[in-house]
Amino acid sequence: MPYIGQLPGLWWDESSGKYFPLSKKPSKPSITPVPSTAPSTSSYKPPQRRNPQRYTDAIGLYDEQLSKRLRSARNIRRYTQFYPIRAAAYLDSSRAVIATSQINSQLQLLDLCSDDRRFILESSPGSVESVIKIGSDEEVGIVKVAFNQTNLYRTNFEAQSLVHVQSIPNSNYFDCAWDGQRFVAAIDKTLNAISSGRKWVRYKSDVVSVASASQNETLCGLRNGQLHIHDWRLGNKPQSPIQTFGKTVNRIARVRESSVYVISTMDSQLQLFDVRMNKCMSSLRGNVNNTSLKQPFTLVANDSHLCVVGEDAFLRTWSLRSSQLTNTVPSEYTNYVDSDGDSILYYQKPGTSGLRKRVKVFEQEHYTENFVWATLQAQPEIKGSTLVLGGDGRYYGVECAQKVLKLSAAAGVKKIIVGQNAILSTPAASNLIRKHKAYGGILMTASHNPGGPDNDFGIKYNIANGGPAPESVTNEIFNITKTIQSYSIAQLPDLDLSKIGSYKHGELEVEVVDSVADYVDLLKSIFDFDLIKKFLSENPSFKFLFDGLSGVTGSYGQAIFLGELGLSKDSVQNAVPLPDFGGLHPDPNLTYAHDLVERVEKDDITFGAASDGDGDRNMIIGKGVFVTPSDSVAIIADWAHVIPYFKGGLKGLARSMPTSGAIDRVAQAKGVAGYEVPTGWKFFGNLMDAGKLSICGEESFGTGSDHIREKDGLWAIVAWLNIIAAANQEHKGWNIKDILQAHYSKYGRNFFSRYDYEEVESEGAQKMIEHLQKTFESLNGTQLKATTTDTTFTVKETGNFAYTDPIDGSVSKNQGLYVVFSDGSRIVVRLSGTGSAGATIRLYVEKYSTEASEYGQDAQVGLKPLIEVALQLSKLQQFTGRDKPTVIT
C-alpha cells in the first residue's frame, strides 16, 4: 500500500511500506518525515467570504505552524478587499487565485507570502462559482453562471482574460472539479465530463458535490445521500453507490493525493472515508464544549488537519490524527460586502429626511446593512461614541434595530440608548440625544408614509444637536454607499428590547429606556399644564379628541392627555402603535385623517388633533374649522408670551419657502428677525444653534421650536391648548375659530392651499419641471387669466429658490420653482423628497387679503382663480395624466 499521509490511529513503517496500529509503533519511529513545501507563514492568514451557497472559504492548511495560526482568533486575516470571495484555488505553494463576485466578477492573483495582488480580470458579467487549478501552475479553470448558462473558462494570465471552453444551458450550478485532463461538473441530476467529447451521466437525484479520484474516475455526492465513483471508461451508465449517508453529501475534500476524503453531510456529520477500501475510517467528533458543528459548507484539508467553516460562521480545526476538534474560533466580526454590481443597485441617496424605500427593498440582502454601515462610517468620531436608537413601530423596525445594534458594535460604538421595544417618536429621540449629549441617533421611520410589508420603511441619522443630518453628512453617506467595499457586523444574538434596563451586548453597552417618560417631562417644563388642566376641568363642554393614527404617538398621547391632563379615555383614539398603522395612512391631513374629521363634525368636537406615524407632524381642527399649518405656526408665535418657555421673548421666527407668509407678519410686528429656508427641518437647526430662532414651521403640518431640533406634533397640540386656556382667562368661551378670526383681524389672512400628486411617473414630473424652467425665461410682466372667470394675474417675478445659510454660508440650490404676482399672490412647484416610489409633485398657491368679508371664506373658493392659473401654467395634467390631486390641504 502506498504512503498516503498520516491516518487516524495508524503509523507508517517506511521499511515495510505498510501502515500499522499505533499500539505497535516502536519508541523510535522509522518513519521519514515528508518535507513540507509550505510557504512562509510569517505574513499569511486565511481569508474568509460569505455567499448564499458556500458561506466562508479559508485558504490553505499546510502544516503544524499554519494550523496553529488558524487556531488563533486574533491572527485570522479577513481579506476585506476581496469580499465576497466566492472561490479560490492554489497555483503553487505561495500563490492563489481569488474570485469575487455577485453580479459581476473579478479575478485576482494573490501572493500568499507578501499579500501582493493584481487583477487578472475585472468586472466581467456573471457570478464566479468555482476556481479550480488545472494543468500547470500558471492556469486555473473558472466556472461562471450568467444569463442562465453555466460557463467554463480557462485563464490567460498574460492577456488578463478568460478563454471560453464550453457553455451548458443551466442556472442552477452545484459543483465542479478538475480530474487532470478535463472538468467534471455537477449540474442538476447530471455529472458532466467537459472536454472536446463531452460526456454526461444522469442520476436519479441531484449531483451536489464532486471531487477527482483519478484521471478516469470522479467521486460525486448526491442530494439523496449516495456517494458514487464513476469510471468514465465504462460509459455513461450510473454505477452502484459505494456508500449511502443519511443526508445530502454537500462537500467532498481530498486529503492530499490519497484515497482518503473528508465527507460532509447536511446532518452536520464529518467523516474520513477511504474510497478504495470503501470504509468509513472515523467520524470527526465536534461536540466539544457544546460547540456542535452546523452544516459544514467549507472543507480544506492537509495531511494532519482539517479546516471547516459551518453555517454558524465558526471556524473550526480538527486534528485528523486524533479525530478530535482542537479548537473553535468564533468570527467575532464577520465582514460582508457588496460587489460592484450590488453597489450600483444599492446607491442609497438620503432624501429630505433620510432614506425611504419599500420594505421589500430594505429586506434585500445587505441593503439595510450597507446603509447603516455607510451612515456610521460617515461619522468621523463614531468609535467610543454614544448613540440613540428608536423608531415609530412600523413593520421591519424590530429586525432593523437588531441589525443596527450589531453593526454599531462592530463599528466600535461604546453605548446605545434605545427606546423600549425599539420605539421612540422622532421628537422624543431628538430630546434623548440632547439630554444625554449623545453623538447622534439612528431613527427607523418613514414618518407619515404608510407602513406594512408592502409599504414603506426608512432610516435617518440625527446629529449631536438632535436634528436631522445636514446635507454635508447625507452627501457623505451617499458617497460611501457608492463605493462601499465591506461592512462588519458583530456575531451577537438578538437582544430583548422589551425590558427596561442596562445590558452588555458583546463590547457594546445597551440601555433600554422608557420611551415616553423623558418626553412628557420635557413638555411639562415648557407649557403651563396646571392652567390647561384647570381650564379643561372647568369647561366640560370643551370636547377634546386626539387621534394617534395607530402611530408612535398613541402612547405619548395617553400619558399626556389622560395621565397628566385628566381627560377621559374616549378623548384618545387609535392609540396603540401598529406595524401597519392599522391599515391607515398616518398623515394628519383632511384626506387621510378622515375618521377624525368625521367624528369631529358628528360629535361636535371643540378641539380635534392628530399626529403622524413618527410624531413630528400635527393637524388642528374643530367643529366647522380647520387650521392650516401656515396659520397655526403664526398664531403660536403671536401667543408665545402665554407659554412659560417663551417668557423671555422670541429670538426669531422662520418658515419653509412654500409655507405662507403669515408668520412673516408676526415677526415684523414683534420686531424679531424672520427667515425663509428650504423645505427640510435640518435648515432650521443652524439658526436655532446660533440662538437666532425660537419658533418655526412648515406647511406640511410640521411645527416646532428650539426645545429640540425636530418638528414636534404633540408640542404644537399642547401649545394650542395652552393658548386656548390663556385666551379664556380674558375671553370666556373662545375656541379655535375665535382665535383664528382674531388673528385675521389683526394681521390679515393668507389664503393657502397645497395640491399633492403622489407617485406620478418620475419622467413626466421631471419634464413638467423642465417646461416650467423654460417658460420662466419669458414670463415676467405677462398676464395670466383664470379659466372660469375674468380674473387676471400679472407676473412680477419667477425663479428657482436658493438659500444661503446665514450661519455657515452653505448654499442650497434648486429648492422649488416660484411665480410671484404683482398683488403678492404666488405659486410654488416642487418635487418632494419624502416619497418612496415614483415622484410626488407639490403645487402650492397663496393669496393675501385684508378684506374682512373674505376672512370666513373657504380657502378653495378664495383660491380657485389662482389654482386654475397654476394648473394651466404648469401643464400638470398634460405631463402626468392626473386630472385631480391625491391630497388637498
pLDDT in tens, 630-651: 999 999 999 999 999 999 999 9
User: Which pLDDT score, from 0 to 100, does residue 200 have?
Assistant: 86
For residue range 66-77, what is the model confidence (pLDDT) as tens digits? 333 333 322 233
> Is 447 in the active site?
yes
Is it true that domain 519-747 has CATH number 3.40.120.10?
yes
- The reply to whether CATH 3.30.390.30 applies to domain 172-283 is no
CA distance 469 to 353: 8
The residue among 342, 338, 290, 337 whose CA lies nearest residue 314 is 290
- Closest to 208 measured CA to CA, from 266, 165, 152: 266
Domain with CATH 2.130.10.10 in the chain: 172-283
Provide the residue type at 290 as one letter: N
Helix, strand, coil % (nearest 5) of the chain? 25, 35, 40
pLDDT at 169 over 90: no
**Could you report the per-residue pLDDT of 791-834, keeping only the tens digit for each?**
899 999 999 999 999 998 888 888 999 999 998 899 999 987 55
The continuous run of DSSP H or E covering 828 comes out as strand 826-831
Is the pLDDT reported for residue 252 higher than 90?
no
Nearest Cα neighbor of 726 from 707, 749, 702, 742 is 742
Tally Cβ neighbours within 10 Å of residue 832. Answer: 17
pLDDT band at 121 (very low <50, low <70, confident <90, very high): low
Find residue 877's DSSP bridge partners. Answer: none
Confidence of residue 317 (pLDDT cuts 50, 70, 90): low
To which H or E segment does residue 435 belong? helix 426-435
Q: Report pTM.
A: 0.63
Residues 573-594 have pLDDT tens digits of 999 999 999 888 899 988 889 8
**Beta bridge mates, 202:** 190
Distance from C-alpha of 392 to C-alpha of 577, rounded to nearest angstrom = 8
Domain 347-515: give its CATH superfamily. Answer: Alpha-D-Glucose-1,6-Bisphosphate, subunit A, domain 3 (3.40.120.10)
Q: Identify which has the larger pLDDT, 80 or 724.
A: 724
If one compares 838 and 359, the residue with the highest pLDDT of the two is: 359
Residues 447, 555, 632, 694: which is the catalytic one? 447
On whether the CB atoms of residues 514 and 543 are closer than 8 A, the answer is: no
Mean pLDDT (the chain, rounded): 80
Residue 480 to residue 759: CA distance in whole angstroms:
28
What's the topology of domain 751-888? TATA-Binding Protein (3.30.310)
* Distance of alpha carbon 522 from alpha carbon 540, whole angstroms: 27
Long-range contacts made by residues 223-228, C-beta under 8 angstroms, separation at least 24?
223/248, 224/248, 225/249, 225/265, 227/263, 227/273, 228/191, 228/203
The set of long-range contacts for 854-857, using a CB threshold of 8 Å and a minimum separation of 24, is 854/749, 854/751, 855/741, 855/744, 855/745, 855/749, 856/741, 857/751
Question: Once rounded to an integer, what is the mean pLDDT over residues 218-233?
Answer: 91
Mean pLDDT of 155-176: 70
How is residue 651 annotated by DSSP? -
Residues 172-221: tens digit of each pLDDT: 667 888 877 788 888 888 888 887 666 889 999 999 888 888 888 899 99
Q: Which amino acid is at 219?
A: L
Q: Is the pLDDT of residue 355 over 70?
A: yes
Q: Is the pLDDT of residue 315 over 50?
A: no
Looking at the chain, the domain(s) classified CATH 3.30.310.50 span 751-888
Q: Which residue has the higher pLDDT, 648 or 251?
A: 648
CA–CA distance, 562 with 575 (Å, rounded to integer): 11
* CA nearest neighbour of 397 among 423, 369, 420: 423
In this prediction, residue 862 carries a pLDDT of 85
Query: Which residues of the chain form CATH 3.40.120.10?
Result: 347-515, 519-747
Q: Which of 480, 425, 518, 454 is nearest to 710 (CA)?
A: 425
